[in-house]
């Protein structure tokens, strides 16, 4: 039972255009949402996050939008660059045992063509 | 500051054997989590340790165990290896595990079970 779903396994975009990566979740108790980027042979690295009390967070070329009523979030990358080509994981966390444990989606592989 | 260090990077074992993976977190980080990544399942949470105590556990069989030492270093053990245990095992650390606190991942240990 997937609580965090990334329904697009892959996405191909032209350099300079916008990349939109989507993520859906089922648990309305999730408090925080995070995006991670992963290059081959490396561990994931944190990209951007958003609290459930907000609907938008920006950091440079990266913007995350949260639609709580639809249980949907998206990551926008503008403009896309070839170096953005990686696997992107959406994660959502809720308090458990004194900590917040992220549940990850299966990832979307983004390819940005020069 | 040194990042999260995982050893070894690669490991080949045969069915029925056991294996121990090691993780050194970022200095000052007290929370260490372990994840299993497989192509079809994404990142699956194994367990989290904080101050030498297991604080959370994912949905994995008892063959998977771990521990954390007083210096926050952590080890993960898998006994009676099965072919399906072949995966990338990722360790991640963070200060305490609160709120939207991001995870810092190591590069992982690629385990192949033959």
User: Best mutation site among B23, B36, B37, B88 for testing chain A: the one with the most A CBs within 10 Å?
Assistant: B37
Mean predicted confidence (pLDDT) in A80-108: 92
Q: Which helix (H) or strand (E) holds A72?
A: strand A72-77
The string of DSSP letters for B54-109 reads EEEE-S--TTEEEEE-TTS-EEEEE-S--GGG-EEEEEEEESS--TTPPPEE---E
Residue of B nearest to A52 (CA): B100
- Tell me: pLDDT of A83 over 70: yes
Q: Helix, strand, coil: what percent of chain A each, to 5?
A: 5, 60, 40
| B23 inside 8 A of chain A by CB | no
Residue with tokens 């958003």: A50
Cross-chain Cβ contact A102/B42 below 8 Å: no
Which of A31, A43, A107 shows the shortest C-beta gap to B90? A43
Residue with tokens 């916008």: A18
pLDDT at residue B112, rounded to an integer: 97
Shortest alpha-carbon distance between residue A68 and chain B (Å): 17
pLDDT at residue B13, rounded to an integer: 97
User: Best mutation site among A62, A102, A105, A109 for testing chain B: the one with the most B CBs within 10 Å?
Assistant: A102
- Tell me: pLDDT of A98 over 90: no
Q: Give the residues across from A64 on adjacent strands.
A: A57, A75
Cross-chain Cβ contact A104/B97 below 8 Å: no
pLDDT per position as a tens digit, A60-69: 999 999 999 9
Structure tokens at B73: 């270093």
User: Best mutation site among A43, A48, A49 for testing chain B: the one with the most B CBs within 10 Å?
Assistant: A43
Cross-chain Cβ contact A105/B42 below 8 Å: yes
Taking only the tens of pLDDT, chain B with its 114 residues reads: 689 999 999 999 999 999 999 999 999 999 999 999 998 788 999 999 999 999 999 999 999 999 999 999 999 999 999 999 999 999 999 988 777 789 999 999 999 999
pLDDT at residue A47, rounded to an integer: 97
pLDDT at residue B1, rounded to an integer: 67
pLDDT per position as a tens digit, A36-77: 999 988 999 999 999 999 999 999 999 999 999 999 999 999
| B107 inside 8 A of chain A by CB | yes
Cβ contacts of A102 on chain B, cutoff 8 Å: 45, 103
Query: In angstroms, rounded to a whole number, what is the distance separating the alpha carbons of residues B93 and B5?
Result: 10
β-strands A45-51, A99-104 pairing:
unpaired
Residue of B nearest to A99 (CA): B97
A62, A81 in Cβ contact below 8 A?
no
Cβ contacts of A51 on chain B, cutoff 8 Å: 99-100
- Tell me: pLDDT of A1 over 80: no
């Amino acid at each position: 039972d997937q609580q965090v779903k990334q329904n697009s396994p892959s996405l191909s975009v032209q350099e300079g255009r916008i990349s939109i990566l989507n993520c859906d979740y089922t648990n309305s108790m999730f408090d925080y949402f995070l995006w991670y980027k992963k290059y081959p042979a490396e561990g994931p690295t944190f990209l951007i996050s958003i609290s459930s009390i907000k609907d938008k967070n920006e950091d440079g070329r990266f913007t995350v939008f949260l639609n709580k009523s639809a249980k949907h979030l998206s990551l926008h990358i503008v403009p896309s660059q070839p170096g953005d080509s990686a696997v992107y994981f959406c994660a959502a966390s809720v308090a458990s045992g004194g900590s917040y444990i992220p549940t990850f989606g299966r990832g979307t592989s983004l390819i940005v063509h020069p | 500051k040194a990042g999260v260090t995982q050893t070894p990077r690669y490991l080949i074992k045969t069915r029925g054997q056991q294996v121990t993976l090691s993780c050194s977190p970022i200095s000052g980080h007290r929370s260490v989590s372990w994840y299993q990544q497989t192509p079809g399942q994404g990142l699956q949470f194994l367990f989290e340790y904080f101050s030498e105590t297991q604080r959370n556990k994912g949905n994995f069989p008892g063959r998977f165990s771990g521990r954390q030492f007083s210096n926050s270093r952590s080890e993960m053990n898998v006994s009676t290896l099965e072919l399906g245990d072949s995966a990338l095992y990722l360790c991640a650390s963070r200060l305490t595990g609160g709120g939207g606190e991001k995870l810092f991942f190591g590069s992982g240990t690629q385990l192949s079970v033959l």
